[in-house]
Amino acid sequence: MQDVTRWLARRVVESRPGDVPAEVLREAGRALLNWCGCAIGGSRHETVDRALAAVLPFAGPAQAGVLGRGERMDILNAALINGISSHVLDFDDTQAEAIHPSSPVFPALLALAEWRGFSGAELAHAFVLGVEVECRIGRSVFPQHYDAGWHITGTAGVFGAAAAAGKLLRLGEQQMAWALGMAATQSAGLREMFGSMCKCLHPGRAAQNGLHAALLAREGFTSSEQGIEAKRGFGHVLSTHFDPEVIVGEWGRHYELSSNMYKPFACGLVVHGAIDGCIQLRNEYGLRPDAIETVELAVAPLVLELTGKPSPLTGLEGKFSVFHAAAVAVVRGEAGEAEFSDACVQDAEVVTLRKRVRATVDDSLQWTQARVAIRLRDGRLLQREVLHPLGSLERPMSDADLEAKFRSLTAGILDKRGADHLLQLCRDLQSLPDAGVIARVAVA
């Protein structure tokens, strides 16, 4: 496959809403509900406060709002902030290749919708295409690109934002190829930032830069038309492995959204197996922390690579500590946002148990799987193997699970009436005459 940038541009430009299967469009609504919950739930995080403080003195006209808050600003800065807030809890959707598809794409689309009143059907269609583009490009360089240290949600996400925004803006094929080229040359984000506020800057910047790429292309700002596949393009410069066939294969038959996962726990999917196993044992045996001698985890190599921090000090660091995750799951029986707060990470009971958590690598385990063995002071050994944690494709969150997660994340920010209204809008996405209403209702 040559000229994959232009091929992709043509597919996105030529796609009609009727081409997309109904169940894929329905999944776009589920993704939107999950994403709105994450953005609203994250909107009061100090990360967002600080980002806003650094943005507001320079922001443009009140074209779009920050979900969960009152501030209004230009669409580019709104996309940045909503991208940050929707990823700050690490609670947004994810794919097997570690791409969080919604957080770079929805902020760009929702800002455009608020500004120019695009319909819900248009927004859903553009979202589906954006997810296709970012996930396919991400898969074309996976896993070498990710293993090398790139945060693929940032590096691939900017393509998704550019393609989706470009679709809403009705770019032609030439402009779309330029927008994808501009995405390629702005592709950035390092895994070294994991555990700091900067991790969630990546989808924020991807949303903002992808949207800007589409706006620049619309004005005739040119780029290379082989930004993805050229010798010095994205695929070869940012990865030792690049397979363009992955980008084009099964186009229109396989949809990336059909392998989208929603997390029940407020941390990476890599830790879900351990949390799930700990909660199961805790609940079945009515475990209390002081009865526990050790918690022994067997996990895939990637788990310790990503979440091997033994002694996290902040909530953000706690998301990168399988030791904290297991301890808090046993102590509290939950692993929502509250369990990854600074206070909880520093909680004496959690810290005490955390020191008794051991983790070993088992190469035979997949990245979301885990075996948990809890040794009690009375000598008993309780064991649980989790091959398919809640939230995996084999055990997906139901609509009711997603609604409960949404209500939990928005509680204390939206009132009941606001939350009900927003829930309904996400369900009715396909028939909304103006999708901008979602952002307007999502304001506290």
Closest to its own copies by CB, 94 or 224: 224
Minimum CB separation from its own copies for residue 342, in Å? 13
C-beta of 412: minimal distance to its own copies in Å?
A: 24
Q: How far is the CB of 76 from its own copies (least distance, A)?
A: 5
Select 192 or 428, whichever has its Cβ closest to its own copies.
192
Instruction: Decide whether 181 or 389 has the Cβ nearer to its own copies.
Output: 181
> Could you tell me the smallest distance in angstroms from the CB atom of residue 179 to its own copies?
11
CA distances from 57 to 54, 253, 341 (A): 7, 46, 29
Write down the least CB distance from residue 150 to its own copies, Å: 7
Nearer to its own copies, 316 or 326 (CB): 316
Tokens linked to 171: 């770019």
At its nearest, how many Å lie between its own copies and the CB of residue 166?
12
Q: How far is the CB of 305 from its own copies (least distance, A)?
A: 10
Nearer to its own copies, 59 or 279 (CB): 59
From the CB of 137, what's the least distance to its own copies, in Å?
A: 14
Residues in the site for its own copies, rule: CB under 8 A? 47, 50-51, 53-54, 57-61, 63, 74-77, 148-151, 154, 178, 181-182, 184-193, 195-198, 201-202, 205, 209, 212, 215-216, 218-224, 226-227, 230-234, 236-237
Minimum CB distance to its own copies, residue 164 (Å): 17
Nearer to its own copies, 33 or 112 (CB): 112
> Which residue, 181 or 336, is less far from its own copies as judged by CB?
181
- CB-nearer residue toward its own copies: 50 or 288: 50
Q: Which is nearer to its own copies, 212 or 319 (CB)?
A: 212
